[in-house]
């Protein structure tokens, strides 16, 4: 038994290290981390080197669903209320009606080309492939600064469309498992869908509201207990909704949304914790699903997978995007780019295990079709999203963002944070005295890391491109301080002057 555990840990460590070093080597080509994770699972799985023999879709579904709770919670946690309000109408329509429209168009066309698979299965395939991958899209665009309104729409839509696809797939699986009987099902489908969405949203909002009010009491304990409290809230939001027949993942998303937009204790450190949790969950999902993938089976479904990719990418997604943003007036180039950002990723792969776990006929074939489509999307769209943004002139090179936000731990409630700001010498040139910066009140540059040496600054100290600044700021002013510093360096870089005032 101990030998098996040791072997499992050794193999797991080897897989993680391969993913990390492959991703760090290939990141210049903007290939998503999750794609390396999937390839690692396939390579080490039972169809290639036979190092990991795993073929239980029911267990895979349960583990993937468990990890997906964290991914959806973090998606809600990172959805800014201000950005959400700015693009509320098009983002909401695109994340709900747009997903339904994508699923419907995909199902209809897929059934038209492959009628032998049956309409219920075509509907199931359309529901599975309808959502996009927020984590993959933003890992690709991390070096680009999109036009703010377009960036907000891409961010909010990608983060919020997963729950709808999950709800639709759950209902579609029930439809196919019942033998595809169509008598009377539309009414039941609509009612079930309404309850799953409204019940899930209400459960998440309630749990999030309660969590915000309890967080101050829990924060008086040690930091470790606070993280346990947050984990409990994630599970509580999911479990509460599922117990009443609503959507647990939608509940987790809204609980995260409430917490992410509230002034809770230890928010900076909690944010880093959630980001790490989401990354680990995404990697785990793709590695696990990679174990189930059998590349030798792709030959028999290759053309179905290609056809599905072409339908959803070049027909269904553009139709849904154009219809959802019709009144928003984003322009042709922005609409094309938004459509191309419909990258398929973790959620469709997880949803493809639902038919397997339900023992639906030909579920393995369906799973492989989805795998081919996701791989094509990751490789083709994933490698061209950033170049397309450049070609359409929708983005410039992104400013460096504060790398770390360190919350100051005191006996009293603290309203200040220590922010790390990197003056990237690949972006900026020149030097500027600290006294030139018009920083907000109660803001101070406390330390400068220059070539791994610490500089204690004064008002006349020159900040040089390549420095890393440690700035004491009030909570909520991090971006304003960074913008002020970067604006001076942009002016300095453009004029070539030694200093900028």
Residue where the block lists tokens 């969405």: 197
Q: What confidence category does residue 501 fall into, taking pLDDT thresholds of 50, 70 and 90?
A: very low
Q: What fold characterizes domain 60-396?
A: Na+/H+ antiporter like fold (1.20.1530)
Residues 6+ apart with CB under 8 A from 198: 246
Q: What confidence category does residue 168 fall into, taking pLDDT thresholds of 50, 70 and 90?
A: confident
pLDDT the model gives residue 498: 44
Residue where the block lists tokens 């997906």: 68
148 or 128, which is more confident: 128
Q: Other CB atoms closer than 10 Å to residue 264's CB: what's the count?
A: 20
137 or 486, which is more confident: 486
Residue where the block lists tokens 């322009």: 331
Average pLDDT over the chain, rounded to whole?
Answer: 81
Between 146-150, 164-168, 368-372, 441-445, the lowest mean confidence (pLDDT) is in: 146-150
Q: Other CB atoms closer than 10 Å to residue 331's CB: what's the count?
A: 14
Q: Which of 413, 439, 420, 427 is nearest to 466 (CA)?
A: 427
Residue 173 has which token pair?
A: 């699986």
364 or 148, which is more confident: 364
Whether 130 and 168 have beta carbons less than 8 Å apart is answered as: yes
Share of the chain above pLDDT 90, in %: 18
452 or 501, which is more confident: 452
Q: What is the 3-state secondary structure (H, E, C) of 418-474?
A: EEEEECCCCCCCCEEEHHHCCCCCCCEEEEEEECCEEECCCCCCEEECCCEEEEEEE
Whether the per-residue pLDDT at 45 is higher than 50: the answer is yes
Work out the angle between the directed axes of helices 332-340 and 148-160 (0-180°, nearest 10).
30
Q: What confidence category does residue 57 fall into, taking pLDDT thresholds of 50, 70 and 90?
A: confident
Residue where the block lists tokens 């023992």: 359
Distance, in Å, from the CA atom of 469 to the CA atom of 489, rounded to the nearest integer, reads 13
Whether the per-residue pLDDT at 422 is higher than 60: the answer is yes
Phi, psi for residue 444 in degrees, rounded to 5: -145, 135
Ranked by mean pLDDT, which of 69-73, 109-113, 354-358 comes out on top?
109-113
pLDDT the model gives residue 187: 64
Whether 464 and 423 have beta carbons less than 8 Å apart is answered as: yes
76 or 125, which is more confident: 125
Whether the per-residue pLDDT at 434 is higher than 70: the answer is yes
Q: Which of 237, 236, 238, 215 is nearest to 226 (CA)?
A: 215
Whether the per-residue pLDDT at 383 is higher than 50: the answer is yes
pLDDT the model gives residue 310: 96
Phi, psi for residue 455 in degrees, rounded to 5: -115, 125
pLDDT the model gives residue 243: 93
Q: What confidence category does residue 497 fall into, taking pLDDT thresholds of 50, 70 and 90?
A: very low
Ranked by mean pLDDT, which of 279-293, 302-316, 401-415, 487-501 comes out on top?
302-316
Residues 6+ apart with CB under 8 A from 478: 402, 405, 417, 419
Whether the per-residue pLDDT at 223 is higher than 70: the answer is yes
Q: What fold characterizes domain 404-495?
A: Alpha-Beta Plaits (3.30.70)
- 177-218 tens-digit pLDDT: 766 554 545 666 677 778 888 898 899 999 999 999 998 888
Residue-range domain boundaries for the chain: 60-396, 404-495
Q: What confidence category does residue 408 fall into, taking pLDDT thresholds of 50, 70 and 90?
A: low
Whether the per-residue pLDDT at 485 is higher than 80: the answer is yes
- 281-339 tens-digit pLDDT: 888 888 888 888 888 888 889 999 999 999 999 999 999 999 988 877 788 888 898 89
Whether the per-residue pLDDT at 144 is higher than 80: the answer is no
- 2-39 tens-digit pLDDT: 567 787 788 888 888 888 887 777 666 656 677 778 88
DSSP letter string, 248-277: HHHHHHHHHHHHHTS--TTHHHHHHHHHHH
- 149-158 tens-digit pLDDT: 787 787 777 7
């Amino acid at each position: 038994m101990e030998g098996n555990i040791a072997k499992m840990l050794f193999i797991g460590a080897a897989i993680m290290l391969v993913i990390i070093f492959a991703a760090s080597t290939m990141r210049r080509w903007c290939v998503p981390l999750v794609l390396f994770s999937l390839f690692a699972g396939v390579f080490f799985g039972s169809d290639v080197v036979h190092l990991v023999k795993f073929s239980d879709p029911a267990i895979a579904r349960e583990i993937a669903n468990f990890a997906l709770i964290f991914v959806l919670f973090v998606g809600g946690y990172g959805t800014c209320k201000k950005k959400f309000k700015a693009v509320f109408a098009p983002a909401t329509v695109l994340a709900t009606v747009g997903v339904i429209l994508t699923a419907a168009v995909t199902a209809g066309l897929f059934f038209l080309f492959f009628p032998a698979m049956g309409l219920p299965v075509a509907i199931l395939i359309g529901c599975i492939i309808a959502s996009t991958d927020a984590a993959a899209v933003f890992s690709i665009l991390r070096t680009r600064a999109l036009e703010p309104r377009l960036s907000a729409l891409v961010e909010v839509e990608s983060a919020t469309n997963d729950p709808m696809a999950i709800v639709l797939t759950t209902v579609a699986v029930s439809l196919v498992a019942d033998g595809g009987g169509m008598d009377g099902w539309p009414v039941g489908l609509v009612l079930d869908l309404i309850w799953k969405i409204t019940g899930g949203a209400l459960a998440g909002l309630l749990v999030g509201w309660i969590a915000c009010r309890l967080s101050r009491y829990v924060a008086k304990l040690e930091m470790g207990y606070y993280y346990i409290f947050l984990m409990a809230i994630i599970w509580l939001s999911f479990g509460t909704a599922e117990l009443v027949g609503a959507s647990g993942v939608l509940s987790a998303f809204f609980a995260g949304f409430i917490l992410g937009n509230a002034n809770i204790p230890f928010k900076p450190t909690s944010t880093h914790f959630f980001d790490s949790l989401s990354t680990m969950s995404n990697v785990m999902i793709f590695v696990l699903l990679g174990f189930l993938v059998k590349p030798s089976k792709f030959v028999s479904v290759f053309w179905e997978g290609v056809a599905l990719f072409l339908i959803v990418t070049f027909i269904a997604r553009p139709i849904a995007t154009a219809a959802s943003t019709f009144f928003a007036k984003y322009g042709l180039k922005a609409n094309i780019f938004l459509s191309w950002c419909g990258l398929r990723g973790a959620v469709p792969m997880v949803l493809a295990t639902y038919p397997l776990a339900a023992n639906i006929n030909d579920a393995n074939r369906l799973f492989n079709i989805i795998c081919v489509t996701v791989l094509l999307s990751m490789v083709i769209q994933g490698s061209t999203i950033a170049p397309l943004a450049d070609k359409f002139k929708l983005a410039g090179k992104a400013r460096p963002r504060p790398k770390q936000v360190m919350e100051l731990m005191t006996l009293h409630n603290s309203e200040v944070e220590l922010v790390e700001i990197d003056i990237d010498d690949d972006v900026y040139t020149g030097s500027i005295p600290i006294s030139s910066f018009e920083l907000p009140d109660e803001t101070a540059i406390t330390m400068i890391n220059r070539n791994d040496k610490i500089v204690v600054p004064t008002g006349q100290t020159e900040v040089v491109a390549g420095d890393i600044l440690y700035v004491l700021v009030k909570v909520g002013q991090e971006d304003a301080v960074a913008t002020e510093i970067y604006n001076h360096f942009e002016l300095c870089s453009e004029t070539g002057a030694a200093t900028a005032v």
